[in-house]
Amino acid sequence: MVRVSDVQVITSREVPLGGPRAMTVRRTLPQRARSLIGAWCFADHYGPDDVSLTGGMDVPPHPHTGLQTVSWLFSGEIEHRDTTGAQEIVRPGELNLMTGGSGVAHSEVSTSDCGTLHGVQLWTVLPEATRHGPREFVHHVPEALHLDGAVARVLVGTLAGHTSPVPTHTPLLGAELVLDPHAQLELDADTEFEHGVLVDEGPVVLERIELARAELGYVPPGRHRLTLTNPGDRAARVMLLGGEPFGEPVVMWWNFIGRTHEEIAGYREEWEAGSERFGQVEGYRGDVQRLPAPPMPTVKLKPRLAPPGPGDPSAWG
């Protein structure tokens, strides 16, 4: 059983996405209240946006290190190009997972057939053992799992007896859940995992705590079961994220993840110099061929760990 005090509610903040068409996204991770859920270190929620009015998404080639990007759409289309050589159209219900490793670059542009753009962009941090590995790209279409009162699609990890074939570098869970009106869904949970529920269409009740659209509910490890309820007359949709707490300190800045300030500064310098660490994105048709990095902060970047959860005694004074 989850105590109500164990559920931490994280409210999103609006952030302009970089690029010539600066779309606004709602960011729940990272925040001061919580940096990580397992290895999930970044969560942007955007749309629904009518691209004929907003201009859609146009993010020029930009770099990443030490992480994986997870692209998932509810509606619309995005053209993805990266320096693994991948060129893929991201569509609803299809997972695009890109591993940055020691360095990758990619572009993201909503297509002319996009219509309404609506989805999430997620990152996971890579552990020390594999963070300097090769860049990779995986495209996967998860099957729809019909549960009692809900439909699930498992992006990564295992849920309700179904395991995604997509490899991860740490124990993780990522899934889309669509709850029927007035449905209550009980899910067996890995007791070693902490979990987060990001609401796309709601409200949704996590245990006895109601979460509004774009809010994220966090539950610490030690729970055998999670209960989600849709109190409304329409279907509700959430992203369920989980994983074993990530015990390594990390430094996150701009699009880079490393372990020290000096490492991040070196990545920035290499990107600005056009280093082959990141490769060249072929076929991007925008005016800005490389998204410039912002200046480094004037204070030294410090490593951070995820804070203890609200149900962890170490979180109590």
Please count the structural domains in the chain: 1
- Asked if residue 312 has pLDDT above 80, the reply is no
Query: How many other CB atoms sit within 10 Å of the CB of residue 35?
Result: 19
Cis preceding-peptide flag for 203 (omega within 30 of 0):
yes
Contact 108, 285 (CB under 8 A): no
Residue 298 lies in a domain: no
Q: Would you state the torsion angle of the CA atoms of residues 58, 59, 60, 62, taken in this order, to the nearest 10 degrees? A: -170
Residue 271 lies in a domain: no
Please give the DSSP secondary-structure letter assigned to residue 308.
P
Q: What is the model's pLDDT at position 151?
A: 99
Give the confidence band of 75 by pLDDT, cuts at 50, 70, 90: very high
- Asked if residue 311 has pLDDT above 50, the reply is no
- Asked if residue 44 has pLDDT above 90, the reply is yes
Give the confidence band of 20 by pLDDT, cuts at 50, 70, 90: low
Distance (Å, rounded) from C-alpha 226 to C-alpha 207? 7
- Beta partners for 146? 151
Residue 57 lies in a domain: yes
- Which amino acid appears at position 157 of this protein? G
Q: 141-192: per-residue pLDDT in tens?
A: 999 999 999 999 999 999 999 999 999 999 999 999 999 999 999 999 999 9
Higher model confidence: residue 305 or residue 222? 222
Distance (Å, rounded) from C-alpha 259 to C-alpha 72? 28
Range of the domain at 170: 4-248
pTM score: 0.94
Residue 282 lies in a domain: no
| Cα 149 to the center of its chain, rounded Å | 25
- Asked if residue 5 has pLDDT above 80, the reply is no
Residue 278 lies in a domain: no
Q: What is the mean pLDDT of the chain?
A: 93
Residue 192 lies in a domain: yes
CATH code at 11?
2.60.120.10
Least confident stretch, 52-56, 125-129, 169-173, 187-191: 52-56
Q: What is the model's pLDDT at position 253?
A: 97
Mean pLDDT confidence for 83-91: 97
Query: How many other CB atoms sit within 10 Å of the CB of residue 93?
Result: 13
- Which amino acid appears at position 75 of this protein? S
Distance (Å, rounded) from C-alpha 287 to C-alpha 307? 41
Q: What is the model's pLDDT at position 316?
A: 22
Residue 150 lies in a domain: yes
Residue 155 lies in a domain: yes
- Asked if residue 1 has pLDDT above 70, the reply is no
